[in-house]
Structure 1
Amino acid sequence: MSKFLQFQCDLDTFIDELSLRVKQNNARVEELLKTEKKTYANFVKAMQSMEEELELFFTPLSHLNSVNNSDKTQEVYTQSLPIITEYGTKLSQNIDIYKSYKAILENEKETLNYEQKKVLELNIQHFELSGAHLDDKTKARLEEINIKKSELSNNFSQNLLDATNAYEYIITDEKDVEGIPVSDKESARFEDDGETKYKFTLQMPSYIAYMTYGKNRKIREALYKAYVSRAPENGKIIEEILSLKDEMSRLLGFKNYSEYSLASKMAKDEESVLSFLYNLLNNAKEQAKNELKELQAIAPQNLESFDTAFYAELLKKEQYDIDEEEYRPYFEQKSVVNGMFEFLNRLFGISFKKVQEKLWHEKALSYDVVLDGEVRARIYLDLEARESKRGGAWMHNWQAHSIDEKGDESLASAFVVCNFPPSSDTNPSLLRHDDVVTLFHEMGHTIHHVLSSVNENEVSGVNGVEWDAVEFPSQFLENFAYEPQVLKMFALHHETKEILPDAMIEKLVKSKNFLSAIGMLRQLEFSIFDFKLHAKVHTEDEVQSLLNEIRKETALITTPEYNKFQNGFAHIFGGGYAAGYYSYKWAEVLSADAFYSVVDEGIFNSQTAKKYLDIVLNGGGAKSMGILFKELMGRDANTDQLLRLNGIK
């Protein structure tokens, strides 16, 4: 296999080739299982290589479907999903593979290195968490549960979407839209029988626009009430999901779903998670109360839940006087990218060399990543918004550094995708500071993946990293986007070349932690509720009672009785964060601690930064992030540094 693959995806032949590859892989599995004396070298390595080649073939299609979407990519992608899903399901339930992995680990435990042991341990755990080792009756029930859970999660999300789309609030009085930004106002504006009216909905941009800038309190309350009482039918769905998750966990040998969830995470046990969350809560609460007093002082009446965003915006303008538009000329996209490259060079000694190759779009660029004079990886940047591109920002890993069973080395590669304002021959792409933070965040994920020197594909780069630790490198890097000496490396006015003035930098840095303790309490409320909820089965009324109890500690403003937040908590009932919402804060503690160690050492003279490169970035997922963090810092993570990052004293 060559060190880098050429990006290509023939849509006309893709399904036929995918089907053929899957058929060949299935035959290869049967052939490998017949090996009499199975070893890591002749069985596990061959399985890894086979899986990797299929993944490398499939990734360009999923990438293309996200960044250069068309009817054709959608059609081919939709056709390919059942093929790849059926293949993956069959493989994960193959008891003979599971038994082979267990036997190899037992037979070769004295001679395997830690990377190889980790590959086997993760595979064995994956089989066991899917129940592959259990009797046929139990496996059949687990399959029924998984199908039903999937159906219920889909129903939960669909109910939420339908309720969101069904609501609208029509405004006819111009006074009621005064102060709303022009772009938001124009989006809401429509003509009806010659009369200008404004429609606000529960879609996030529309909802946030009125809750933040809308002066009419009664309208804010109406929108808020509609938003927090959406999809009441989801209450019964939650009951059923919780019951199924509890049954599944017990069948797999766990006392509840929270314990099951932690089996593949960095956190040791339920007590560790809850004590971590309550420690943050106790530390943030007093400052949150003071922040609320500041908010209350500028409000003419007692603050309600539907008032906070509006008065927060007024207070922010009063305290910081930040106009986002004033900053954008200083954050021209090319300057930011080049400055970020320079920053990474000074921090870690890595450099980026542009590569000329044909990619999926003319705005996409590729760079070789060079360390110690050697090309270590390749990254692909696709940063500008366009109609054919899915919204948001992400890092998508393609290749991982590895050495196959023949001894051939593959170097890592990854895609960095954002949706920044498009540039043209006459207009540059000018970013918001939030965009800069986003770019640093995704680059944090990227260098975590591509700078790994692990030789086993399944634990190289971001592969094998625990769910509650995977955001550590991205959050670590994004924090530098607020550091004055880093900002001055790229924040140049695109016309005058003037560096962003110190006064503007100071305002930007100070505004970062505006009402941060209140924000911390809100996230902790979600995290504690999620984790306690999955500790046992609850009825619909018990779910509400649990949330009410938690709110006594986390909500500084009494929440209205009609607020049924749980019915819209899609992260845990429609997504992958069940009993894992705490992960955001868990990873943030690691990132804040490592970040301040670098900052306190002077950033560019930091020994911690060099160790971070050698230990965390180099280490990939071959060791638990808890072990790597201890190697980095010489101790466990210090929660106080997260409080410091959020300006909580």
Structure 2
Amino acid sequence: MTGLAPLHLPAPEHAADWLAARRTGLLAEVEGRVADLRAAGTGDPLAVLRSWNDITLALSDLTAVGSVYAQVHPDEAVRALGDRVVQQASKVSTELSLDPGLYAVFAALDPAALLDPAGRPDPVARRLLDRVLRDFRRSGVDRDETTRTRLRELDSRQVDLGQQLSRTIRADVRSVRVTPAQLAGLPEDWIAAHPADADGLVTVTTDYPDAVPFLTFAEDAAARRALRLEFLNRGWPDNDAVLRELFAVRREVADLLGYADWPDYASEVMMIGDGDAIPAFIDRIADLALEPGRRDRAVLLERLRCDVPEADTIDVADSAYYAELVRREQFDVDAQQVRRYFAVDKVRRGLLEVTGRLFGLTYVPVDPVEAGVWHPEVATYDVFRRPEGEGSAPGERIGRIHLDLHPRDGKYKHAAQFTLAEGVRDRRLPEGVLVCNFPRGLMQHDEVVTLFHEFGHLVHHVLGGRSEWVRFSGVATEWDFVEAPSQLLEEWAWDPAVLETFATDEAGEPIPADLVARMRRAEDFGKGYHARTQMFYAALAYDLHAREHPDLTARVRELQGRYSMFPYLEGTHFHCSFGHLDGYSSGYYTYAWSQVIAKDLFSAFDPDDLFEPTVAARYRDTILARGGERNAADLVEDFLGRPSTFDAYAAWLAR
């Protein structure tokens, strides 16, 4: 990719005009290329696939920037335009996928004619043809015109509803007002950043940099409960109606395409392969986690009873606070003391150093004006792959990344990696955006772990962005594998030797290794009930898609009672802020599925030397760099030298 230039983004004040012009140009390009493809017909199979690749790239270019701007741009008008751009790109994609004439072009191609320059069968090109034909069939291209028309309508509506769900969650920032005395227990820097207003009260919002510390450290139980209730009611009541319609749309799509239900349709292209396998997997994890979950919940309840002797249960309004007390009192880990070692700027630099060393990369800062970032706090880096054995030479530029790490009004509320540009070998540099909502000062260690996790997606996007085919570029594996590389990278945020390279206090003293060991033991506390909570989320995502429910809140209550170790909080409507119901749809189980694989992948690394170059390079080149060019199970088997098993995960959960 030597010599390729990254995107030239506009200054924030010119973003609307730039995006509108880009939309016009790319839509015209797609129209022209589709016309050329129709005219060429079924000629050289590779030429046909390359034409389709060009069309796919143009649509990806349109969708990617539109989606990023819709989620992060500070100007509401630009965010709204980004949503419209994504809608238009989706509409064009749907029209093409339902075009019988285009489908006929690909159906007539002979896979045996897909050869590499040496005249040998080209397995990646053949895989692409297979995936293209499958995509056409899954869109309903072989249905009658009436059905195709309805599928077009449903696809458009599904995009609209997903965007509406996300907008409502972004906009619905709730708060409680408390007295300064009710801030007892919170870190001093947090209190200093939250002065009282003219009425003598402090506003605490449901945004993560406010909510996470408050729910973890605030001693006032009533205030914690009030904030937790607001947090769980974000998006209510508007998103209840949105979700009802979204589920109905998806059920109708699955029915029109001949599937038993939406999970059956969605899982066809996953590693799991079968919708019925999802609840079986959920129950397997839930069963494994039951005894560890009960054990640790009993510890929480016992500690709660020291303060509230009559308590007979503990719920999520108190669980984070009492888990912190248990870690402090029984494991000698005080999260407020741990925070001293994790200033956000040091963590960011350390993350780049760690992943640079692990994957043979160099990150070079880019001037914000040159980068065209949408907000002054966004940090941009060009990513270079260092040549083997050539010291500190930066090597070849292979991508660009943007780190948008702090909250602001109108911005996406969680943590995720967004594609800004798909990489294509010798044509396009991959670019990605890390969107998070971390504090601007000190971070809790679990936030550091989250940053490592999300950066795992970003580095996967860049390292995997060297395929000839857009369809296989970057994080293009089966959806229930995409979390595995990110969950694997979390392990480096727990290693004492790694942490001491960047986790230092104000005096420059590195975090003590014995403290990290205690942190790790403390982190193991609660993993059983955390796993059960994840299975509650997974069961909810599956169940709400699999069957219709007259009362979504009632079903939330039922499933929480079945899977979670903590009872339902009366008057809450968690599903309305569960944004994964859009992107992950029925497949939230993928976090646990990927974690099983991640624990197995980690077993190949030397715990005494996580940077051992042979293993690190093999992992980088065998899994990350391949993108979606092979099935995920095959990539894992290539790396491990055997099929993946459940053993490492089960051992971790049991210990």
**TM-score (ref. length: structure 2):** 0.81
| Distance of aligned partners of 1:256 and 1:547 in 2 relative to their CA distance in 1, 3 Å threshold | farther
Q: CA deviation at 1:524?
A: 0.8
> Could you tell me how far 1:595 is from its partner in structure 2?
1.4
- Answering whether residue 464 of structure 2 is matched by residue 457 of structure 1, we say no
Contact kept? 2:533, 2:565, Cα under 8 Å: no
Is the deviation greater in 466-475 or in 70-79?
70-79
User: How far off is 1:116 after superposition?
Assistant: 1.1
465-474 vs 296-305, greater mean Cα deviation: 296-305
Q: Give a deviation string over 1:443-497, Cα, whole Å, max 9, x none.
A: 322332333385422244425322111121122112211012222333345654x
2:149 to 140, 149, 159: 140
> In the alignment, is residue 20 of structure 1 matched against residue 25 of structure 2?
yes
Matched, 1:275 2:280: yes
Shifted more, 295-304 versus 86-95: the winner is 86-95
Q: Where does residue 113 of structure 2 map in the other structure?
A: 108
Specify the SS of the correspondent of 1:366.
strand
**Conservation of the 8 A alpha-carbon contact between 2:4 and 2:429:** yes
Alpha-carbon spacing, 1:288–1:63, altered in 2? closer, same or farther (3 Å): closer
Q: Does 1:91 align with 2:99?
A: no
More divergent stretch after superposition (220-229 vs 316-325): 220-229
Partner of 2:496: 484
Contact preservation (8 Å) 1:385, 1:420: yes
Distance of 2:366 and 2:205 partners within structure 1: 46
Question: Is the alpha carbon distance of 1:564 and 1:144 closer, same or farther for their aligned partners in structure 2, counting shifts above 3 Å?
Answer: farther
Q: Distance in 1 between matches of 2:241 and 2:65?
A: 40
Larger CA deviation: 464-473 vs 77-86: 77-86
How far 1:123 sits from its partner (Å)?
Answer: 2.3
Aligned residues: 626
Q: Whose radius of gyration is greater, 1 or 2?
A: 1
Please name the residue that 1:375 is paired with.
396
What are the Cα deviations for residues 248-305 of structure 1, in whole angstroms up to 9, with x where unaligned?
2121011111101102222121343333222221111111111112112222222242
| Correspondence 1:544 to 2:554 | yes
Paired residues of 1:437 and 1:478 also in contact (CA < 8 A): yes
- The answer for the alignment partner of 1:315 in structure 2 is 326
Change (3 A) 1:129 1:290: same
**Residue aligned with 1:534, SS:** helix
Aligned positions of 1:254-293 closer than 5 A: 254-293=259-298
Matched residues in 1 for 2:365 and 2:183: separation? Answer: 50
Q: Which residue of 2 aligns with 1:597?
A: 604
Q: How many Å separate the matches in 2 of 1:546 and 1:418?
A: 27
Determine what percentage of the aligned residue pairs are the same residue: 22
Classify 1:333/1:297 alpha carbon distance in 2 versus 1 (closer, same or farther; 3 Å): closer
- Structure 2: which 5+ residue stretches go unaligned? none
Moved more, 123-132 or 320-329: 320-329
Instruction: Write out aligned runs for 1:152-551 (5 A).
Output: 176-181=182-187, 183=190, 187=194, 189-192=196-199, 196-198=200-202, 211-215=215-219, 217=221, 231=236, 240-298=245-303, 299=305, 300=309, 301-305=311-315, 306-324=317-335, 326-327=337-338, 330-331=341-342, 336=347, 339-340=350-351, 342-344=353-355, 347-348=358-359, 350-352=360-362, 354=364, 358-360=370-372, 363-372=379-388, 375=396, 377-382=398-403, 385=406, 390=411, 393-398=415-420, 400-403=422-425, 410=428, 412-416=430-434, 432-452=444-464, 455-493=467-505, 495-496=507-508, 498-540=509-551, 544=554, 548=558, 550-551=559-560
Counterpart amino acid of 1:366? D
Contact 1:593 1:642 in 2 (8 A): yes
- Contact 1:188–1:206 at 8 Å: present in 2 too? no
CA distance in 1, matches of 2:345, 2:354: 14
Change (3 A) 1:66 1:204: closer
Partner Cα separation in structure 1 for residue 421 and residue 290 of structure 2: 45
Counterpart for residue 5 of structure 2: 5
> In structure 2, how many angstroms separate the alpha carbons of the residues matched to 1:30 and 1:22?
12
1:633 to 599, 620, 640: 640
What is the match of residue 627 of structure 2? 620
- 2:579 is aligned to 571
**Residue 364 of structure 1 aligns to a residue in which SS?**
strand
Are the counterparts in 2 of residues 116 and 456 from structure 1 also a CA contact under 8 Å? no
Task: Indicate the larger mover: 34-43 or 371-380.
Answer: 371-380
Moved more, 227-236 or 268-277: 227-236
CA distance in 1, matches of 2:148, 2:194: 51
Would you say the 8 A contact 1:265–1:468 is kept in 2?
yes
Q: Is the 8 A contact 1:119 1:456 kept in 2?
A: no
After superposition, the Cα gap between the structure-2 partners of 1:452 and 1:319, relative to the gap in structure 1 and judged at 3 Å, is same
Structure 1 counterpart of 2:595: 588
- For 1:355 and 1:296, how far apart are their aligned partners in 2? 49
CA drift at 1:135: 0.8
The alpha-carbon deviation at position 640 of structure 1 amounts to 3.7
Whichever residue aligns with residue 579 of structure 1, its letter is S
State the Cα distance separating 1:504 from its structure 2 match: 2.6
In structure 2, the CA distance between the partners of 1:50 and 1:355, relative to structure 1 (3 Å rule), is farther
* Offset, 1:30: 1.1
SS at match of 2:396: strand
- Whether 1:554 and 2:563 are equivalent positions in the alignment is yes
For residue 129 of structure 2, what is the aligned residue in structure 1?
120
Which digits, 9 at most, give the CA deviation of each residue in 1:117-162, with x for residues without a partner? 2222222232223223311111222234345555666676778789
| Contact residue 601 and residue 607 of structure 1 kept, 8 A | no
Cα distance in 1 for residues equivalent to 2:339 and 2:176: 33
Letter in structure 2 aligned against 1:632:
F
Q: Following the alignment from structure 1 to structure 2, what is the Cα–Cα distance between the partners of residues 397 and 316?
A: 38
Unaligned stretches of 5+ in structure 1?
423-428
Structure 1, residues 360-411: CA drift from partner, whole Å, max 9, x if none? 25853324222436526133354664869946654444555545xxxx5655
Residues 246 and 75 (structure 1 numbering): CA distance in 2 closer, same or farther, change over 3 Å? closer
CA contact (8 A) 2:46 2:114 kept: no
TM-score (norm 1): 0.82
Q: Is the 8 A contact 1:594 1:608 kept in 2?
A: no
Matched letter for residue 386 of structure 2: V
Report the AA paired with residue 328 of structure 2.
K
Amino acid at match of 2:486: S
SS at match of 1:34: helix
Report the more deviating stretch, 311-320 or 145-154.
Answer: 145-154
2: distance between equivalents of 1:630 and 1:509?
Answer: 29
Between 521-530 and 593-602, the greater mean CA deviation after superposition:
593-602
Counterpart CA distance in 2 for 1:535 and 1:386 is 35
Counterparts of 1:435 and 1:218 in 2: how far apart (Å)?
Answer: 25
The whole-number CA distance in structure 1 between the counterparts of 2:461 and 2:615 is 19
Q: Is the 8 A contact 2:467 2:627 kept in 1?
A: no
Distance 1:105 1:330, change over 3 A: farther
- Superposition CA RMSD, Å: 4.0
- Cα distance in 2 between the residues matched to 1:17 and 1:546: 43
Give distance in 2, aligned partners of 1:322 and 1:613.
34
Name the SS for the 2:143 alignment partner.
coil
Which letter maps to 1:141? Answer: R
